[in-house]
Amino acid sequence: MLKRVSRCNPKLLVLILIILFLGVLVGMGKNRKVSAVTDDVYEDLRVFTDVLNHLQKDYVEETENRNLIYGAIKGMLDTLDPHSSFMPPEVYREMQMETKGKFEGLGIVIEKRKGLLTVVSPIEDTPAFKAGVKSGDHIIKIDGHPTEDMTLHEAAMKMRGTKGTKVTITITREGLIKPKDITIVRGIIPLISVKHDVLEKGIGYVRISQFNEQTASDFGKGLEKLEDLNKAPLKGLIIDLRNNPGGLLDQAVKVADKFIRRGVIVSIEGRTKEPLKFEAHREGTVENYALIVLVNSGSASGSEILAGALQDHGRALILGTQTFGKGSVQTIFPLKDGAGLKLTTARYYTPKGRSIQAMGITPNIIVPYSRVSDDRESKEQPPHPLEKDLEHHLKRVEEEKGEKEPKEERVLDPQLERAVQIMKSWEIFQGLSLKK
C-alpha cells in the first residue's frame, strides 16, 4: 500500500496502475490486445493520478490512501449494474458467513431496482419476516438515513448488527398512502433452509426457504423422512419456493437434478464464446410421483432456476404468481488484502433458452395469494401448515384426556390448498378407466 501519493513519481504510479488494470483484464478473460488497452487507458489513468496527487497535497484535511483507493473502486463499480460491487474485508467476511447459513441481522434479501432499495424477499422465520416486511417493499430510509445513494452493501451493513439491537426501516409499498416505519429487533438468521410435512395421505410438502450449503443434502433427507412418515411411497410432492430469494447456484441445480433424468438444467451465458451448461444425471432420479411447485413474487434467482428447469422439462406444474426475475450471475473474486469483488458475469437461461432476468417464471396456473385479514396491507406472505394440522402430530395433553380444543379460526393458504386439490385430482384421474 502506498504511504503518500504526493511523494510518488506520477509516471511510476501510472505504470503501476496500468499493470494492475491489465492484470484484472487478463484474469477476467478479456481477449484484447495489450498494446491497444495500454494506449486507450494511459491518458485516463494520468487524470486519475493527478486527482490523487491534488487530494493528497491540496485537500483541506489529510486523507487516508486506502480510503481514496477503495472509494475510487466503489465509484467505478457504481457505473455498472446494481449487483456488481466492491466488498471491503469486513463486508466480504460477512458475505461468506451468509452462504454458510448463519449470521445476525434482519433476514432480508435486497437489490436495487430503478434506483430504489427493493426487498427481494424476507427469509422465513427471521425478524424481518415476523415484522411484516414483504417482497417488493422499497426501503427508503434506515434509521432515518435515506437509502437513495447507498450501495447494496452499505445498506446491508446498516441493517446487520448484534442480536437484540433494534433498527428502524422506512418502507413504501403498493397500497400504502404514506411511508411506514417498521422497527425490528435483530436476531440470528437460522441455518435450516428445508422443512417437510405430510399434508394428506400420500401428499408430501417440502418448504425451501433459501439455498445454502446444506440445502440439497437436507432436501434429500427430507424426502426419505416423508416416505417414512407416510409409511408408503409418496404419490405427489409439493415444493414450496415462495419468498425464497435464492442463494447458492449449485444447490438449486442439485435439487433439480433429483427430478430430471437427462438434459440441461440451466445454462449460463456471459462474454465467453461457449455457454456453461449444467446437465442432469440419470442416477438417483426420483420419477415415481407428481410435482407441484409453489412460487410468488418473492421467488428469485435459485428458486427461479429450479422452477424453470422443472417447468421446461414438463416435470412439474408451477402454481402461484409471477416470480421476481433475478436472472444474472454474480462471481466473487477474492482480492489480496482480504476484500472481495462481486461482479455480474453472465445471465441464466432455462433449458428452453428462456431468460429469467427481469422476466421471471410465469406459473402454469395463476393463483393469487389473498386472505381475509384485518391487515389490509397483507400481500404475498403465505402462512404454512400449523403443527396441529400435520398428520401424526403429537397431541396436546388435553386432547389425550378428551377435552375440547379452544375454537380457533384457521388461516387459509389458497395457493397451497389449490395445489393439494390438484394433486388429489391427478390421483383420481389416474385411477379412472376411460371407456369408449
CB atoms within 10 A of CB 388: 13
Extract the C-alpha cell encoding 125. Answer: 422465520
301 catalytic residue (yes or no)? yes
- Give the C-alpha distances (Å, rounded to integers) separating 272 from 25, 28, 79: 13, 10, 22
- Give the C-alpha distances (Å, rounded to integers) separating 131 from 148, 297, 315, 367, 385: 23, 18, 36, 25, 19
Extract the C-alpha cell encoding 386. Answer: 400449523
Active-site residue, from 197, 257, 312, 413: 312
Active-site residue, from 297, 299, 301, 303: 301
Extract the C-alpha cell encoding 92. Answer: 466480504
**Nearby residues of 85 by Cβ (< 8 Å), 6 or more positions away:** 74, 77, 151, 152, 153, 342
**Nearby residues of 49 by Cβ (< 8 Å), 6 or more positions away:** 5, 10, 13, 14, 17
Identity of the residue numbered 413: D
326 catalytic residue (yes or no)? yes
Extract the C-alpha cell encoding 392. Answer: 401424526
In terms of DSSP bridges, do strands 138-142 and 145-146 run parallel, antiparallel, or are they unpaired?
A: antiparallel
Strand extents, DSSP E, 382-427: none
CB atoms within 10 A of CB 253: 21
Active-site residue, from 235, 326, 342, 379: 326
* CA angle at 356 for the pair 417 and 420, rounded to the nearest 5°: 10
Question: Using CA atoms in the order 413, 419, 424, 430, what is the torsion angle rounded to 10 degrees?
Answer: 180
Q: Rounded to a whole number, what is the distance in angstroms from the first to the last CA of the chain?
A: 84
Extract the C-alpha cell encoding 375. Answer: 391487515
Q: What is d(CA 389, CA 405) in angstroms, rounded to the nearest whole number? A: 13
**Nearby residues of 104 by Cβ (< 8 Å), 6 or more positions away:** 160, 161, 162, 163, 186, 187, 188, 189
Crossing angle for the helix pair 302-312 and 249-257, to the nearest 10 degrees: 30
> 407: exposed, middle or buried (C-beta count within 10 Å: 0-12, 13-18, 19+)?
exposed
Q: Where in the sequence numbering do the catalytic residues fall? A: 301, 312, 326
